[in-house]
Amino acid sequence: MIRIFKVKEKQRAESALGTTHVKKQSAGELRLHKDIGELNLPKCCNVAFPNGKDDLMNFEFTIQPDEGYYVGGTFLFSFQVPPVYPHEPPKVKCKTKVYHPNIDLEGNVCLNILREDWKPVLNVNTVIYGLFHLFMQPNHEDPLNHEAAEVLRDNPKLFESNVRRAMSGGYVGGTHFLRCI
């Protein structure tokens, strides 16, 4: 017990003198650290921290679907987690230009748990599985890219052809997509 008190006294003294270099973590950072430690990713998903482990609040997520329309593609997402997480959802952007009914050409993602259905009991793992699900089963009923949604709804074969063309680095409509296969 005495050692514990001495450690605490030393920490207080260092803090008072300004010699301590320990960054105080926000509640959001603590929760995110816990969530990341408990990640259970599908085998076709990967998380990376381009700014190093000191910046957990900004990270990237890659999905490489192994089935569905987008099989063989590689799609990169950025996550920006607000300091008030989990009371607000992370900001997620798709960095790969993709022909998808639920992702617009600027990378905005239409996923209900990132908007009106977000609750503090949800976590990063839930968001990743939501994104994974969007690639397995695109939703034409709640689109951001209305043209892609209409094609998916009315002509799934043409939609599949458009996805392949876009992922191969071609044009769909008047829009050029970079190769992501």
Per-residue pLDDT tens digits for 81-133: 999 999 999 999 999 999 999 999 999 999 999 999 999 999 999 999 999 99
Domain boundaries, the chain: 25-176
Q: What is the pLDDT of residue 2?
A: 44
CATH fold of 25-176: Ubiquitin Conjugating Enzyme (3.10.110)
Count of other CB atoms within 10 angstroms of residue 58: 14
- Give the active site residue among 44, 45, 94, 110: 110
Q: Does residue 79 surpass a pLDDT of 50? A: yes
- How do residues 47-59 score in pLDDT, each as one tens digit? 999 998 889 999 9
Please answer whether residues 110 and 103 qualify as being in contact, where contact means their C-beta atoms are separated by less than 8 angstroms. yes
Residues 105, 169, 172: CA angle, nearest 5 degrees: 55
45-48 and 58-63 beta bridge pairing: antiparallel
One DSSP character per residue, 22-82 reads PPPPPHHHHHHHHHHHT----TTEEEE-TT-TT-TTEEEEEE--SSSTTTT--EEEEEE--
Q: Which residues, including other chains, have CB under 8 Å from residue 44's CB and lie 6 or more apart?
A: 63, 64, 65, 66, 132
What three-state secondary structure class fits 137? Answer: coil
pTM here? Answer: 0.84
Please say whether the beta carbons of 124 and 39 come within 8 A.
yes
Q: List, in sequence order, every residue forming a beta bridge with 103; answer none if it has no partner.
A: 100, 109
110 catalytic per annotation: yes
pLDDT exceeds 60 at position 33: yes
As beta bridge partners, residue 109 has 103
Per residue in 145-181, pLDDT (tens digit) is 999 999 999 999 999 999 999 999 999 999 999 999 9
Question: Is 44:63 a contact under the CB 8 Å cutoff?
Answer: yes
Q: Which of 33, 37, 34, 47 is nearest to 129 (CA)?
A: 47
**Residue 133: C-alpha distances to residues 30, 58, 130, 173 (Å):** 27, 22, 5, 26
Measure the N-to-C terminal CA separation of the chain; round to a whole number of Å.
Answer: 59
